[in-house]
Amino acid sequence: MDTAALLSNLERHFELNPASARLLIVGLGATGYSAAQFLQKTPIKFAVIDSRKNPPLIDNLREQMPDVPVFCGGFDQSAFEVATHLLVSPGVSLSESAIHKAMQAGVTVMSDIDVFACATDKPVIAITGSNGKSTVTTMLGEMGNAADIKTAIGGNLGTPALDLLQQDAELYVLELSSFQLERTTVLNAAAATVLNVSPDHLDRHDGMAGYAAEKQRVFRGDGVMVLNADDAMVMAMQDASRQTLSFSTQTQADFYLQRGEVNYLMQGEQVLMAASKLRLEGTHNIANALAALALGTAVGLKTTAMCDALRKFKGLPHRMQKVAEKAGVNWVNDSKATNIGACIAALQGYDRKVILIAGGDAKGADMAELVPVAIEKTKAVVVMGKDAQLIADALQNCVPIKFADNMKEAVKAAASLASPGDSVLLSPACASLDQYRSYVDRGNKFAEAVAELPSC
């Protein structure tokens, strides 16, 4: 799509006319920097603001865009008063005082996803949910390319959405967080899904109802809705006037798991592939595969190509990743499990009890939700991080608990509890930023600590 078409779409949807608009990019992380790079190629006048004194990409911005006004070290109200439009990065809460005042004054709030939607006419698959987003997004990228469709993936995963436009793809697959969706209004995906809804980011959203409502925004438009038949909150989003496809590991749906002597992934009466051909552990990953198949079918990808891609798919780092076997004990890194739902899904994938390492920043979640699955699936739990006591209090008298101050101590504690044939699972059910730079850093520290254990 050319610049003229982009500008026409922005004016139609957001009354953004380059002659009069003054756009303020709020937040200079990966998303804000991506937006600045994209807008620099247009006649739209913009500035950038960040509450941090030295945001990580400030030097890059000043070097490459020396004429762009930049405000750092706080949200200067005067910068917001000049703006006609705000492009707010997902890491910045819309409840920030300066943003809230600007919205009350009639300033238009938008997102990089909105600009992306205005900049392309190629089909988009949009994926959200509490858990499994990155896995399904990556699966679809590989499915599309296996079907000889040039496919680009990104959004909340890896590459910012606007950077994907440089790839001149035939199909875009976007992973979208609740933070991205709450400020996105014009995306009309050819196919979209909410994979599941479980407690997450309740510190930023108005409880579970508010969180689910933000997730539901992925279905705006008229594309195919792909629904998880095993999740009541997702099924409540169904729109009878829209084309829908469903997936399930528990009951018959459009795409489902047929259980028997051999378990099969099915589409109606058609056998797609044996579940054992997937290289991923856990029933939740079978659900991810079924969701990917439904989404790919919705945009016309060939079934044979999709199944070939699934057979080859090895999963993503820090998501149920086996890092070692030491003294007969399997050590599994699921550091990406930053909420209770992800931890529960990981535990439910095991047939025998595991030793769980959990903890970090619970983000306001109720850890009592872990109790039933912990009783059924854990031999013991090692807790660490900011909300270790919160988890311990929830699980008291249910399973043995050990405390650790850091990952090395947690791994040593888990090793002392494990016997040959056991699995130790790092699936924190919490965010990582209380002790680590990211879930990736946390997972790497886990792998390093495991590597230091004796082999026998």
C-alpha atoms less than 13 angstroms from C-alpha of 147 in its C-beta half-sphere: 23
Q: What is the 3-state secondary structure (H, E, C) of 238-300?
A: CCCCCCEEEEECCCCCCEEEECCCCCEEEECCEEEEEHHHCCCCCHHHHHHHHHHHHHHHHCC
Active-site choice (9, 156, 288, 339): 156
Predicted structure pTM score:
0.83
Conformation bin of residue 264: beta by default, left when phi > 0, alpha when psi is -120 to 50? beta
- Residue 437 vs residues 137, 235, 364, 444: alpha-carbon distances, Å: 24, 36, 20, 11
What residue type is 401 in one-letter code? I
Active-site choice (9, 131, 196, 201): 201
434 Cβ neighbours under 8 A, 6+ residues apart = 360, 361, 385, 386, 387
The pLDDT of residue 38 is 98
The pLDDT of residue 206 is 62
Asked whether the beta carbons of 68 and 6 are under 8 A apart, the reply is no
Mean pLDDT of 345-368: 92
Burial of 350 (0-12, 13-18, 19+ CB in 10 A): middle
| pLDDT at position 70 over 60 | yes
pLDDT tens-digit map of 119-128: 999 999 999 9
The pLDDT of residue 211 is 85
The pLDDT of residue 205 is 46
C-alpha 380/C-alpha 444 separation (Å) is 22
Asked whether the beta carbons of 290 and 265 are under 8 A apart, the reply is yes
Look at 365 and 274; give whichever has higher pLDDT.
Answer: 274
pLDDT tens-digit map of 83-100: 999 999 998 999 899 999
Does 397 participate in catalysis according to the annotation? no
Domains of the chain: 3-110 (3.40.50.720), 115-312 (3.40.1190.10), 321-451 (3.90.190.20)
The pLDDT of residue 177 is 93
The pLDDT of residue 270 is 97
Does 205 participate in catalysis according to the annotation? no
pLDDT tens-digit map of 278-300: 988 778 889 999 999 999 999 99
What residue type is 276 in one-letter code? S
β-pair type (354-359, 423-426): parallel
pLDDT tens-digit map of 395-422: 988 999 999 999 999 999 999 999 999 9
pLDDT tens-digit map of 296-348: 999 999 999 999 999 999 888 898 888 899 999 999 999 999 999 889 989 98
Active-site choice (85, 133, 284, 445): 133
Asked whether the beta carbons of 178 and 215 are under 8 A apart, the reply is yes
Give the 3-state secondary structure of residue 359: strand
The pLDDT of residue 204 is 52
| pLDDT at position 431 over 70 | yes
Does 201 participate in catalysis according to the annotation? yes
Token pair of 98 as six digits: 């300066």
Average pLDDT, the chain: 94
| pLDDT at position 203 over 60 | no
Helix axes 340-348, 283-298, angle to 10 degrees: 110
The pLDDT of residue 281 is 74
The pLDDT of residue 199 is 58
Mean pLDDT of 372-376: 96
Element of type H or E holding 3: helix 3-14
The pLDDT of residue 279 is 83
Mean pLDDT of 111-117: 98
Nearest to 291 by CA among 128, 113, 117: 128
